[in-house]
Amino acid sequence: MQTTHFRNQLHLRRSKVVVLILAFFGLSFSGFSQGLFGLTSTSGSDDKLLSYGFFLAGHTATYQIKYSDAFFNPANAGNNQIYSIYPKYTPGFSLGFTGILRIHDQVNLLLTPKIGFYEYRVDVNYFQPGSSTVPGNTNSDNTSNLGYTTEELVNEATMVEIPLLFKYRSQRFNNTRMYFIGGASYNFRTKSQDEANLDPIVTKGQDFSIEAGMGFEIYFRYFKFAPEIRFSHGLNNLYYAEKTPVELRDALSSIKRKGITIYLNFQ
């Protein structure tokens, strides 16, 4: 009877034992987290009027094009040789520095000059000479007869970009803060216009863009790490039609830059 009574006691208290074990592991994990991220009682650089940092970034960028009215005019014999112009997203990278002005604990003004390395790839699809097929049609033997040939054009550009951004942060919760960021950027190309005139699609060298994104800050003992995703869209029409080769010149009326960037910020 005593053995049975002992087992009954274990059964009745099993839920309490499980709760105690979970509490123990929870406290252990909490202690591990504090050791990993180095929680302190102060916010460090958050209290400074001016602070600094640097970042590494990877991006994917493309052109946003707009066809000209002449491209859709069947009387324009030159443009009738082009079926479509298709910009593609192409990866690249950039790096730079961050200057931070503290306006409020949750509001900062950022100046983040950087240098970026870009490639802009465009597929131009030409009708094959003498082809009477519509692109995408299929022959009787079920083989594709596209009726056009594709040429890939590549523009390379090294850009200096100077974004001025507002950053709104949530209140700090333990080791983290979420934030939203947005603003505008002035951008210019490092190579001269004479060099750019040799590109297959000629563009101008200066641009303004708007940028917006979000991220979160992680507090370590001696620094903050902030991964971030940011979207940018150029405002200027960069297309330099007068210098573009004649076979493409009248097909386009506008080219703008856009991209998506992942930032790894260290402050």
Q: Cβ contacts of residue 57 below 8 Å, gap of 6+?
A: 93, 94, 95, 96, 114, 116, 261, 262, 263, 264
- What is the per-residue pLDDT across 252-267, written as a single tens digit (0 to 9) for each? 999 999 999 999 999 9
Assign 235 to helix, strand or coil.
coil
Q: Is 205 helix (H, G, I), strand (E, B) or coil?
A: coil
Compute how many other C-beta atoms are within 10 angstroms of the C-beta atom of residue 188: 12
- Three-class secondary structure of residue 211 per DSSP: strand
100-159 per-position pLDDT tens digit: 999 999 999 999 999 999 999 999 998 876 554 444 444 444 334 457 788 899 999 999
> Taking the model in full, what pTM does it have?
0.76
Which amino acid appears at position 64 of this protein? Q
